[in-house]
Amino acid sequence: DAEITQSPRHKITETGRQVTLACHQTWNHNNMFWYRQDLGHGLRLIHYSYGVQDTNKGEVSDGYSVSRSNTEDLPLTLESAASSQTSVYFCASQGANTGELFFGEGSRLTVL
């Protein structure tokens, strides 16, 4: 069965370190998204991509970057982690016909 997977599921890092969260989908979807989930804020869009070599900023993109070198992967990088980036991060890919988002299981990041 096609799926979307995130890794790592849990990570603890220190302020100033570079962190990369991986996202891999096997549906061959063009559209992929990264959201962060925080109490009281719901899901906020960080970055998204509509295809290979395409990346776009979402509403909370500062301090994050993504790259899209193939259809299957959209890694999210925190260049210099800050405590404000402690959160649960969700990757999603989007079905072409319905617009439905399929989410990964999330990556919980703690920045100390």
Partner 1 sequence: GQQLNQSPQSMFIQEGEDVSMNCTSSSIFNTWLWYKQDPGEGPVLLIALYKAGELTSNGRLTAQFGITRKDSFLNISASIPSDVGIYFCAEQIQGAQKLVFGQGTRLTINP
Return residues touching partner 1 (CB under 8 A): 31, 33, 35, 40-45, 48, 50, 58-59, 90, 92, 94, 98-101, 103-106
Select 89 or 111, whichever has its Cβ closest to partner 1.
89
Query: What contacts 1, CB < 8 A, 6 or more positions away?
Result: none
CB neighbours of residue 79 within 10 Å: 12
Give the nearest distance from C-beta 51 to partner 1 in angstroms: 11
Select 47 or 85, whichever has its Cβ closest to partner 1.
47
Give the nearest distance from C-beta 101 to partner 1 in angstroms: 6
| Euclidean distance between CA atoms 31 and 110, whole angstroms | 27
